[in-house]
Amino acid sequence: MALPEVILQRQFRATIEWLAEQTRPFKAWVFADQVTRRRVEYQLKQKGIEARIYSAYKPLVHYFLEDAPLDDSIERIRITYPAHPSDRKSKRFLLEAFPLAGLLEKYQIEFRSKTTADNFYEVMFFSRNGDVQVERVFAPNKFQQDHTNEYIFSPCGWIQFSEQEQFALKCDVHRLFEQLIGHLQSWTWPEQEPYFDRLKVHVDVPFADLKLKWGEEHISFIEALHEDIYFSLIEFFNVYSGREADSRELQPGQIVPEVCYHDGPWQLQVTLEPYQAIEFPAEKALSADALAQVSEPLTPNKITATLTQLTQDLEGQSLDGMSRRGLNVPASLFEGTHPGVVITGAQHANETTGTCALLRALPILRKEYPVALGCIPMHNPEGANLYHQLRRDNPLHMLHAARYTALGNDIQSQSDEQNFEKALRNKIVAATGAKLHLNLHGYPSHEWTRPFSGYSPRGFELWAIPKGFFLIMRHQPGKADAARAFLEAITQDLSQFEALVSYNQRQLKCYRAHAGTLPFELINGFACDVSERENLHVEFELVTEYPDETSIGADFRLGHQTQFEFIRAAFAHLDIVNQT
């Protein structure tokens, strides 16, 4: 086995340390948590220097957390957000204010857009006695050319000594990001994919996470950096390969951003190393009662053990697929007298509630429905292996580096000739004669940002903030009426699940405040997207999307209960799709 090769190692002085050396009053905006910023302000004050240091990341949200005059005298708040300089219709600065509509829900809150692109929010506080207080909150941004040669408008550092003397700062994290991308651009990569087994980018960041008092939201610069590094490198290697930056067919190898909190200097180490899955301890199968109470993502061995036991108890047939890197893809087949159904979970391994729901539902489905059934609860074992590695340091982060296989591609983009995860699904579809594929997915349970690539996650803008549980129906030509009838019946059943309805309503209210009109139609109160696909592998593919990246505790239990209720509802109305 080849030894790891360190190809880049750097340490970066924190920008806030430079601020601590200033000898005259100033205001500054940097990427640092509140504790660190207040400590440096205090140090400067001890030397007789007045300074105020703000967060350059989500500055308006930090303003409301740290400085806003909020008390019981305030009745309503109006926030006017600046225009994007190159797209006046963009809601970029409104999105950056997320989740204020949730955090401030005790007040009457109103958002308005303005036509000027001056990087200032204007906030008006209306008191019950008629007083009005107006504040301006600066959100420093600037245009810069990125690794795809696009000019993007992204958050930046800033220092102001006076109205006449102020300028953007190239902060610690900008230097780190610039050197990382620059070094990889200058490195000699192979001409053929994959370019490496594993490319690990370890970053130590002195910026602690901050839990917010709304939903599963938190401010995590560590998570944002993980996301931006991962997808920036995917984009870079897409361009290197001659593809479009957003292609999902790339197979570069496994990219692993390992971003951790560290109370010290910013540190970067990039390593090329052989792929090696970690060995998890052996685990026993979970009972039905234990599965119903699961409050965090199941480990790969627990999934495999539980599926093996269920398959044996329910007189099914175990199938073992194989991933590109040799990991087992556990699957099961069950005979039936009616047209088949295939259920898969965790195609994207950081989307975890569907797996638990599938295992919970399996005994009930076998007892109540005489259909041929195939199931793959952990469709992406390589991603699952990495996901549980990364969860050790950051269990509440979405960890999109675990989304794809160890080759760095989506299972769905695998060619039919490759005998890996997708081939196993196709084999099960053929064996069951399935008309229907229930494809259990998830998406981020809190805001997803890429602060150095224009703020919103490029190519995934639709998924930037949670909008509750929703469904995506894909169908073959000529099946539109049945597809819609199926959705109508399922969502009618789900509308009786009060905990889910309440959860959806709360998330949709905040979504609309920050993102505007929902881009999907509502069917019985649930967002649904319906589309026709000519080359679909089954007549109907119904994809669930529950915001479960990354839930734990009661939120996780609501997630797998929702996916469980969905499976039950889908099977209760199989006659709609089977009659076509």
Looking at residue 445, its pLDDT comes to 96
Average pLDDT over the chain reads 95
What is the dotted CATH code of the domain comprising 290-447+477-578? 3.40.630.10
Looking at residue 559, its pLDDT comes to 98
pLDDT in tens, 374-392: 999 999 999 999 999 999 9
- Report DSSP state, residue 402: G
pLDDT in tens, 479-489: 999 999 999 99
Predicted confidence band of residue 88 (pLDDT cuts 50, 70, 90)? confident
pLDDT in tens, 7-45: 999 999 999 999 999 999 999 999 999 999 999 999 999
Q: Do residues 29 and 55 make contact, with C-beta atoms less than 8 angstroms apart?
A: yes
pLDDT mean over 163-191 = 95
Looking at residue 325, its pLDDT comes to 87
> Per-residue pLDDT for 416 more than 80?
no
pLDDT in tens, 147-156: 888 899 999 9
Decide: helix, strand or coil at residue 394: coil
Distance CA 168, CA 171 (A): 9
Looking at residue 419, its pLDDT comes to 76
- Report DSSP state, residue 450: B
Looking at residue 245, its pLDDT comes to 78
The percentage of residues in the chain with a pLDDT greater than 70, rounded to a whole number, is 100
pLDDT mean over 309-331 = 93
Cα dist. 386→206, 376, 564 in Å?
A: 24, 19, 26
Decide: helix, strand or coil at residue 115: coil
Q: Can you give the length of the chain in residues?
A: 580
> Per-residue pLDDT for 1 more than 60?
no
Q: Do residues 467 and 506 make contact, with C-beta atoms less than 8 angstroms apart?
A: no
pLDDT mean over 286-301 = 97
The percentage of residues in the chain with a pLDDT greater than 90, rounded to a whole number, is 87
Q: Which of 201, 181, 202, 196 is nearest to 254 (CA)?
A: 196
pLDDT in tens, 208-238: 999 999 999 999 999 999 999 999 999 999 9
Predicted confidence band of residue 87 (pLDDT cuts 50, 70, 90)? confident
Looking at residue 249, its pLDDT comes to 84
Backbone angles phi, psi at 552, to 5 degrees: -140, 170
pTM of the model: 0.95
Looking at residue 370, its pLDDT comes to 92
pLDDT in tens, 424-475: 999 999 999 999 999 999 999 999 999 999 999 999 999 999 999 999 999 9
Residue 229, number of CB atoms within 10 A of its CB:
25
